[in-house]
Structure 1
Amino acid sequence: MTQVTPRDRVRTASRLVVKVGSSSLTTPNGVIDVDRVDALVDVLAARRRTGTQIVLVSSGAIAAGLGPLGLAARPRDLATQQAAASVGQGVLVARYTSSFARYGLRVGQVLLTADDMMRRSHHRNAQRTLTRLLELGIVPVVNENDTVATDEIRFGDNDRLAALVAHLTHADALVLLSDVDALYSGDPRKPESRRLAEIRGSDDLVGVELGRSGAVGTGGMITKVQAARIATGAGVPVVLTGAAHAAQALAGADIGTYFHPGGRHPGTRLLWLAHATTGRGRLHLDDGAVDAVVTRRKSLLPAGVTAVEGEFAAGDPVDLCAPVGAVVARGLVNFDAGEIPELLGRSTRELASALGPEYERELIHRDDIVILESHH
């Protein structure tokens, strides 16, 4: 009888999210490499034939635009990056379209910004679109919408986007393909570094050196580990390995690094609030309010807030700060920034009698607050 291993969850997954980085798709001078794309598609199409639904999260739009625009290297300024992404996105999807067509499979392009994940209506819409594409037998090719994303609303890397997409689509597993074949205890080029075959929790990462990013893409090992934490926190197992080992990874072989899923399945809302949003402003809390919100999981009342920063509207995510300045939580605020100063330090009963019954509600309801881990 064959032994059941944790990686069987990848081998038997009926819905998989596979993420591939720019460096795995391009030649050393940054041009999209047809052979590399075809090799990846060969693996994905073979798995698709077994009935598995696949969502492909692919970087490479900016890299694909460098050649057509005659650029020698990845541009540093945002406007040129966005121009390269605009040209490159079409090149990239055309490449995937013709490669998957060899197997009679169609692809659909889905471009997402972090804003799409932040706003509930967009978020639900993205979920419905992806689900419908999968039902129709299409392979969705997801990328960050680099042509319109600004620095404030960027995922910063497709690894995090892939983790959120895995959660959004209720995927059974996430496979992160990069130019490194596994997570190592130190610099992979050093002989004393060893491959970490399994990560069961943050304790396994103590003392591990996470290097910086490569030349073509934006993501280093740090973003991959963060993405793995988002996905495993949502109950989705993750395999991290090199694109060359994609077939073995999908087959459940002992390759790369396997991140075990956590037991908790947070609601989509709280996962989204913790990882897909950036605070549009800040509320500074006194010690009592920090204790109420973080330890006792209570709603945030105006009486415990000492200061307000930033421009935001009711319904926006805001960061909650302890007196020392550290961000301890994030929540969806019930008031516009301009309304809050006159509420500070006053009890809801006092506010209701002075300003009317609509001011008797909390600044942020406890169901709309996510506690942020101290190491985020």
Structure 2
Amino acid sequence: MKRLVVKVGSAVLSEQNRIAKDRMQALVDFIAELKTRYEVILVSSGAVAAGYTELKLDKKILANKQALASIGQPILMNKYRKMFEHHHLIPSQILVTAANFNTVEESQKVKDTIETLLAHNVIPIINENDATATEELVLGDNDQLSAYAAHHFGADLLVILSDIDAYYDKDPRAHSDAKVRLRIEEITHEELVMEVTPNHNFATGGIVTKLKAADFLLKRGGTMLLASGFDLSDARSFLLSDTHVGGSYFKASEF
């Protein structure tokens, strides 16, 4: 059975300073569908947004953002638990830091846990340990984390579900004639150093962080699909019907 890492961002999981329950439910239902065909590891953002529903702190202050992540993580996991329960699926939580990927030995420890969970049909839900990982909250994002997870944990494909539904040949917000790039084999240096432009109140990235995740995998023989997390039809077609209708698929030509 093939293995997927599915990453969902804060822009999909939250709206108007609260968890977007309908979109979260749609994601859970989709993962339950995927489980008939794949092993699934979920990388989920949303802890800070969930924490903000309980305590309105200024997210621009790092200590506040860490506190919100700490408050929000159990809230987020409880919502996942209740939603997956309807599909008779058990979710689990794995909090990681960059140190977990620094050495083969460290990443193997996490992988051993994930392998055990998958063997028992449990869905591992991974997130950066936001409450202490200052480098993630200031500079990083879960796009990069998901790429590390896909590479180190033996996934056949990384699927990023986002408010960005694909990679276009030009900015679709500024150009009405922008076209989706369905297949990307390489990413240039110029693309990787574009200005990061998050579109959402709780987001830490934008298209550039997704390109960096894709570039990391392309250079290691990995593959990635970028598709909408608001409308899951493109991801569903690609993953369950083997039909590439929309979204962008990253795969190097030599692999």
* Structure 2 residue corresponding to 1:199, chosen from 184, 188, 202: 184
Counterpart selection for 1:216 from 202, 206, 227: 202
Q: Deviations over 1:92-128 (max 9, x none)?
A: 1111111111100000100011122124432221111
Does residue 122 (structure 1) correspond to residue 106 (structure 2)? The answer is yes
1:78-227 pair list within 5 angstroms: 78-151=62-135, 156-189=140-173, 190-202=175-187, 212-214=197-199, 215-227=201-213
Mind listing any 5+ residue stretches in structure 1 that lack a counterpart?
A: 1-12, 265-376
Aligned residue among 2, 25, 39 for 2:26: 39
- Percent identity over the alignment? 37
Measured on the aligned residues, the alpha-carbon RMSD in Å equals: 2.4
Tell me the equivalent position of 1:256.
247
Superposed, 1:1-376 pairs within 5 Å as 14-27=2-15, 29-48=16-35, 50-71=36-57, 75-151=59-135, 156-189=140-173, 190-202=175-187, 212-214=197-199, 215-252=201-238, 253-261=244-252, 263=254
Give the gaps of 5 or more residues in structure 2. Answer: 239-243
Q: What is the rounded CA distance, in whole Å, between the counterparts of 1:237 and 1:112 in structure 2? A: 22
CA distance in 1, matches of 2:148, 2:167: 21
Q: Distance in 1 between matches of 2:64 and 2:189?
A: 40
- SS of the residue corresponding to residue 95 of structure 1 reads helix
Give the count of matched residue pairs: 248
Report the alpha carbon displacement of residue 132 of structure 1 after superposing the two structures with TM.
1.2
TM-score with structure 2 setting the length? 0.89
Residue 251 of structure 1: SS of its match in structure 2?
helix
User: Which deviates more, 180-189 or 243-252?
Assistant: 243-252
Distance 1:35-1:205 versus aligned 2 partners, 3 A rule: same
Q: Distance in 1 between matches of 2:152 and 2:29?
A: 26
- Paired residues of 1:184 and 1:208 also in contact (CA < 8 A): no
Highest relative contact order (Cα 8 Å, sep 6+), 1 or 2? 2
Give the Cα separation in 1 of the matches to 2:219 and 2:179. 25
Shift of 1:234: 2.0
Aligned pair in 2 of structure 1 residues 161, 152: CA closer, same or farther (>3 Å)? closer
